[in-house]
Structure 1
Amino acid sequence: MERKNLVIAGGGSTYTLGMIKSLISEKDNFPLRSIIFFDNDEKRQTQIAEAAEIILKEQYPELEHFDCTTDKKTAFQKADVVFVQIRTGGLKMRELDEQIPLRHGVVGQETCGPGGMAYGFRSIKDMIQLVNDIRFYAKDAWILNYTNPAAIVAEALRRVFPDDYKLVNICDMPIAIMHSYASLLDMDVWDLVPEYFGLNHFGWFTKLEDLQGNDLTNRIKEKIIHEGFVPTDSEIANDVSWKKTFEQARNMLLDFPEYLPNTYLQYYLYPEELAEKESINNTRARQVINGREKRVHETCRQICKDKSTENVILESDIHGVYMVRAAASFVYNHKELYIVMVENNGVIANLPKEAMVEVPALLTVNGPKPLAIGEIPIFYKGLIEAQLAYEQLVADAYFERSYHKLLQALTLNRTVVDTDKAKAILDDLIQANEGYWPELQK
């Protein structure tokens, strides 16, 4: 296979070392000539990059070139594939995204509810600019975007780049859930074949089969109900917050047994319960700052001090492997089945054609080829249509600079519902996001 040039946009992310390990573990399936990190935060990226360079010299000696840069031309001019993982505002703004809704008794979460809206509103401008920059220097590169909140970002990018089939929005949550299903069955996750429908962070598995076509769905349901459900991917397996999230999946299955839920649905189906469980002084962002953020930078310092990886534990994770294998399927036309976001266009027959839905698709050199879902039942259709309207209104509000439409969006969201709450939260978010959000017209 021809070796490719990869750029990781957002090279300073705490997920980057896991991605490097995933690229190493998958180097026979996705061989690379070069890896370049690109970030607008030079200081943050440099520490990650120095550790990454040591790892690559040890474990990927056949890689011809590694670099990190803040210069767009240097980063993108020879890119074949770009992984995008930016976070506008960083963890400091994420903490405000979570704290402000909690002050009003509403779910405070990174991608769901008002926090997700705030993060999405910050992300749109930077994502559009980044895609334009990539396309200026590398018009044929594959862009795999997993920047959160993926649903809002994907809706905005769909409007600005409607014909760019090499720009693909993809989320690792379905495969992380499948990893836990596979553990329940004592199987390899890559031996599971999913049927799935929904929006990003708002979907359901309708069936899971093995490679021989045997239906495993009921076995998975029974095991979750009788044995419980826990995260098993290395990145989240020991995280207390993720453990609680996976526990809640059992309750969702008991209440709505027809399909297996995406874990993020807990925020929409039990918003009052979830809001009560959160602590404004110990948000998820604060846990990340004190947990993964601290751990990753300590690991980097140790690697740089030793000039080797002998005193650290480094693992690939399902998030990274999923993105790498998806990229390989596109680049080498493997036509493998992955759950990705695509414009609906009749895939889910009773949803609008312009909806950005999350469904299984064959990943080909000509882009994703989604599998037809048909019509979905009215309960799920109703939930999705409300969530879709919220996402589309957020995008409308951004492009139209409309306070009114952003208020409509928040009022529609199942985590909020109440107009007075929506207005109070929105006003607080506007103040907190000064300099990040466009000025809104009332």
Structure 2
Amino acid sequence: MNQSSSIVIAGGGSTFTPGIVLMLLDNLDRFPIRQIKFYDNLYERQQQVADACEVIIREKAPEIQFVATTDPEEAFTDVDFVMAHIRVGLYAMREKDEKIPLKYGVVGQETCGPGGIAYGMRSIGGVLEIVDYMEKYSPDAWMLNYSNPAAIVAEATRRLRPNSKIINICDMPIGIEDRMAKAAGLASRKDMEIRYFGLNHFGWWTDIRDKQGNDLMPKIREHVKQHGYLLEEEMEGSQHSDESWVQTFGKAKEVFELDPTTMPNTYLKYYFFPQDEVAHTNPEYTRANQVMASREKHVFSECNRIAHVNTSDGMTLEIDEHASYIVDLARAIKFNTHERMLLIVPNNGAISNFDETAMVEVPCILGANGPEPLTQGKIPQFQKGLMEQQVSVEKLVVEAWIEGSYQKLWQALILSRIVPDARTAKQLLDELYEANKDFWPELN
């Protein structure tokens, strides 16, 4: 077996791509790479990122072959891993996902509620297309999918490509665990062993220990009770932090109160306190606008500058440390490391009192043959009830996509905790359908 890997990044034109490339280059000692390819269906957008990344790769690892292409055969031939982070409809559609619900006094968010459902209906076809290219041109490859909304995408791949080699993953728990580790006085989240159950963006930590087996929950619980997931430097305002994230991590304090025996995923705030989210969101200038004005502008102008001066000296593009879990993931499969990771997998009894076919997020042991979920046992009635409602939303969205069913999509919206009633759900559906005509299947 060749010890170095060939990778295609699907979504080569993403603003996250340069950070992922820098992260891969930073980890070559752990995960050697012989080839990096970019694939996107938008040539000009990808080319700006690719021109800069070509300069960076040439300077930092000239032995790596680099290709950027819009041709699926060229992109997906001779690859070991497909790293997929696509955004069908780009930020222009994300903006609609956020703004249309807000007109009805409903949370506008890219992965939760009506916005997440709209985005899911766009993403399913795009992700399946990439799976099919991979299986056609590199049948032994694995797809590491972190395209959002991960819950709906994972359910779609379970239903429609049940035998494909896909690992669905999300980085949000990783970011929270980084914060927990700091709150517990540890150097890294890798010094912790966790137990966790839930759906994507909808889960709870039940046990957190250090490598010696000492229980860290009491210390973390005390911190979250007082500060949520905020860290000291953020509370003092000494660290320049993104305001919306500061709000999100602080809000965990209130979410935690609903079940102080567990630690919550931050996204639960949208389901438990939707009215607060609507109240402090500017319907004229949402998260999508912030991202377009800041990260999008910065990444593309910096990529263009690097390509123009033909050197990465003094660049302001940053390594995405957060994404280093992708290397852990690929290494676990490539070198059969049996690393323990939080993945989105078919339940099959991992949670004993929950739907067997649900795509759940639980710790798994990952090796060359894919993930082996660790049993989490029975879950409490409170979480079970919430998860049953939410998994029904996800399943109905996928059924609506497969069948072209207006009725099922309406039912999905009604079941979302974020949508107040059936009439609002119908109004939302009609307006979202109109906005997504170019991306959704036809509904009847």
Query: TM-score normalised to the size of structure 2?
Result: 0.96
- 1:317 deviates by 2.5
Q: Which runs of 5+ in 2 are unaligned?
A: 233-238
Partners of 2:151 and 2:199 within 8 A in 1: yes
Which residue of 1 is the match for residue 343 of structure 2? 340
Larger mean CA deviation between 417-426 and 109-118 belongs to 417-426
Cα distance change of structure 1 residues 291 and 268 upon mapping to structure 2, 3 Å threshold: same
- Read off the aligned partner of 2:401 and give its amino acid letter: Y
Matching residue of 1:11: 12
- Which residue does the alignment assign to 1:43? 44
Task: Give the conservation status (yes or no) of the 8 Å contact 1:176–1:318.
Answer: no
Q: Is the 8 A contact 2:227 2:253 kept in 1?
A: no
Partner of 2:167: 168
- For residue 330 of structure 2, what is the aligned residue in structure 1? 327
Q: Name the structure 2 match of 1:116.
A: 116
Tell me how far 1:231 sits from its aligned partner: 7.2
Q: Is it true that 1:188 corresponds to 2:188 in the alignment? A: yes
Contact 1:407 1:422 in 2 (8 A): yes
The answer to whether residue 269 in structure 2 is matched with residue 266 in structure 1 is yes
Give the alignment of 1:134-153 within 5 angstroms. Answer: 134-153=134-153
What are the superposed Cα offsets for residues 350-381 of structure 1, whole Å, 9 maximum, x if unpaired? 11110000000011101001100000000000
Moved more, 309-318 or 32-41: 309-318
1:294 partner SS? helix
How many Å apart are 1:254 and its aligned residue? 2.7
Mapped to 1, the partners of 2:31 and 2:231 lie a distance apart of 27
Q: Which amino acid aligns with 1:17?
A: P
The residue that corresponds to 1:54 in the other structure is 55
Cα distance between partner residues in 1 of 2:228 and 2:389: 30
Alpha-carbon distance between aligned partners in 2 of 1:373 and 1:21, rounded to the nearest angstrom = 36
- Rounded to whole Å, the distance in 1 between the matches of 2:231 and 2:330 is 25
Aligned partner letter, 2:169? I
1:164-191, Cα deviation, whole Å (9 max, x unpaired):
2x21111111101111112223421221
Choose which of 271, 289, 293 in structure 1 pairs with 2:292.
289
Q: Secondary structure at the match of 2:67?
A: strand
Distance 2:132 2:329 in 1: 22
Alignment partner, residue 219 of structure 1: 219
Q: Which amino acid aligns with 1:11?
A: G
CA distance in 2, matches of 1:316, 1:231: 21
Contact 1:39 1:45 (8 Å CA) reproduced: yes
**Counterparts of 2:89 and 2:316, CA distance in 1:** 29
Q: Distance in 1 between matches of 2:384 and 2:373?
A: 19
CA distance in structure 2 between the partners assigned to 1:211 and 1:52 by the alignment: 38
Other-structure match for 1:29: 30
Cα offset, 1:237, TM superposition: 7.3
The answer on whether the counterparts of 1:38 and 1:71 sit within 8 Å (CA) in structure 2 is yes
AA aligned opposite 2:177: M
After TM superposition, the structure 1 = structure 2 runs for residues 365-384 of structure 1, keeping only pairs within 5 Å, are: 365-384=368-387
Conserved in 2, the CA contact under 8 Å of 1:175 and 1:318?
no
Letter in 1 for 2:3: E
* Distance across 1 between alignment mates of 2:135 and 2:242: 38
Secondary structure of the residue aligned to 1:291 is helix
Count of residue pairs brought into register by the alignment: 438
Q: CA shift at 1:273, angstroms? A: 1.4
Equivalent residue letter for 1:83:
M
Larger displacement relative to structure 2 (194-203 or 301-310): 301-310
Secondary structure in 2 aligned to 1:263? coil
Say whether the 8 Å CA contact 1:7–1:38 is kept in structure 2. yes
The answer to whether the Cα contact below 8 Å between 1:231 and 1:242 also exists between their aligned partners in 2 is no
Give the whole-Å Cα distance in 2 for the aligned partners of 1:317 and 1:218: 31
Gaps of 5+ in 1: none
Q: Report the equivalent of 1:67.
A: 67
Alpha carbons of 1:318 and 1:200: their partners in 2 closer, same or farther (altered >3 Å)?
Answer: farther
C-alpha displacement of 1:316: 2.5
| CA distance in structure 1 between the aligned counterparts of 2:383 and 2:240, rounded to whole angstroms | 29
Shift of 1:312: 2.0
Q: Percent identity?
A: 47
Equivalent position to 1:356, from 353, 356, 359: 359
Give, in whole Å, the separation in 2 of the partners of 1:237 and 1:124: 36
Cα offset, 1:227, TM superposition? 4.5
Deviations 1:381-439 (A, max 9, x none): 00000000111011111111111111110000000030011011000001101121111
- Deviation string 1:179-224 (CA, Å, 9 cap, x unpaired) is 1112223421221221110000000111111111111111111122
Alignment correspondent of 1:97: 97
AA aligned opposite 2:268:
L
Structure 2: distance between partners of 1:302 and 1:136: 37
TM-score, structure 1 normalization: 0.96
Q: Which residue type is aligned with residue 374 of structure 1?
A: G
Q: Give me the whole-angstrom Cα distance separating, in 2, the residues matched to 1:265 and 1:226.
A: 18
Q: Residue type matched to 1:111 in 2?
A: T
Task: Give the Cα–Cα distance (whole angstroms) in 1 for the partners of residues 206 and 309 of structure 2.
Answer: 49
Q: Partners of 1:107 and 1:308 in 2: how far apart?
A: 43
Distance 1:231 1:389 in 2: 35
